[in-house]
Structures are given as structure tokens and as C-alpha cells.
Amino acid sequence: MGCALRFDLGRLYRVGVMPSPSANERLKAILKAGHLFENKYRIVRPLGAGSFAVVVQARHEVMKRDVALKFLKPKVVAANPEVSERFVKEVQIAAKLRHPNVVTIFDFGKTQDGIYYMVQEFIDGATLDERVPPGTPLSMERSLDIVQQVLACLSEAHANNIVHRDLKPSNLMSMRHRDTGQEVIKVLDFGVAKLLEDPGRDAGPVRKSTKFIGTPIYMSPEQIQGHKVSAASDL
């Protein structure tokens, strides 16, 4: 059985379903400042890292435009292949939206080593939980402005049958408009978003889900109980 398992894994590496064992070392090399990725993106500096992905700032060599490069960690994909499916879904869902409060995705791909990546709009700012420390009160005016921007984004998402499912301060990026200096909120991470069934279709009986998705303290009652979500779950 051990030999069969090694053969199967080798086949997965060869056909590109899973990243090669050397992909982890390759990613480390890619992330170094000054590296030219895909012959066009010059790595500038790290922006952040999570359990599944790492994000760096880069600059397009010809267009001289700063972007954010998001890479899936190969070792995570090797252990959890569904992570790459979620990554692709995030790209597909975000690509459906054309709204100033959604981070724009410029490109997506997979290297020869099997490393998944996406090229996003670079946001020169900080997440709302970083901008507003715990216990710090917000003015009524700023609170309303932030909420209205988030609602404007959700209005387009919900019109496209997309439910975000993970709205929280750390998924809201605060930046300053280049011309007006006003605060602009960008909604991040559509990686756990759900594309709802077409309302006109009969989806049959609703099956209660046992998969826990979201952040508990920000989840709606129906979401945390595994019931069907809707636009109301975000609101």
C-alpha cells in the first residue's frame, strides 16, 4: 500500500494537481525583495501572511504600478487540496464585482511548480481593526460613512447572488482617496463567500451543512447553526 501511495502522489505532482515538493523552496525564493516574478513583477516587501497564503507588494516593471501578489502556501495545498479550489473561487467571485469598495483582481495563475497566485490592486492602508484599536469610540459621522460604503459593496454582491459570510473589521481595509483624501473602505477576502443558487431555480430541499465557515463572533444565527445563508446573513 505504501508503494501505491507514493505512486499516486507522484502522479499528482506530475500532472500539476498538487504542487511539487520543491515548490516550498521555490516560493521562498520568489518572496525575496528584488526578485522578478513571471518576468514582470518586481517584489518590493512583505505585506502579511496567514494560515493559507502570503501577500507581498510588487511593482509591474513596465507599467510602474504597485500591486499586491497573493500566493497560496504549497505545503497547505498539498495537505488540503480544497484550499486551491477555494482560492480559485475567490478569484471568480471577485471578478464578478465592479465596485469601488471591492479590491480589483488584475490577474490569476499557477506557476510551473504548481504555486497558485493572484495579482490584486495594492491598497496603501490598514485594516479597520488596526486603524481603530479596541475600546476606541468612533464618531457617528465616521461610523455611518464606513457602514454606508460596506452596504454599497454588499448591494452589488447580493445583486450577483454572492453572500460574503465573513464580514469583520479585519476584512475591511481603510485607505485614503488619492485625490480627495477621504476615507475609502475596501471589502476583502471573498474566499469564504457563497454563490447562491439562481432564485428562479428550484434547488430542492435545504440540507443542513456541517462545515463551519466564518468567524464565530461575527456570524449570523443561521450561519453559525449551519442553516441556509442569504443576503440577510451579511446584513
Q: What distance in Å separates the CA atoms of residue 84 and residue 105, rounded to the nearest whole number?
A: 17
Smallest Cα–Cα separation from 48: which of 35, 61, 57? 57
Helix H, strand E, coil C: the string for 52-111 is CEEEEEEEECCCCCEEEEEEECHHHHHHCCHHHHHHHHHHHHHHHCCCCCECCEEEEEEC
Smallest Cα–Cα separation from 88: which of 195, 2, 180? 195
Q: How, if at all, do strands 53-60 and 172-176 pair?
A: unpaired
**Residue 166 designated active-site:** yes
Give me 74's grid cell.
504549497
Element (H, E) at 59: strand 53-60
The SS3 assignment for 105 reads strand
Q: Which amino acid is at 77?
A: V
Question: Of 113, 166, 189, 234, which one is the catalytic site residue?
Answer: 166
Write the CB contacts of 197 (distance below 8 Å, at least 6 apart in sequence).
Answer: 161, 203
Q: Which residues are catalytic?
A: 166
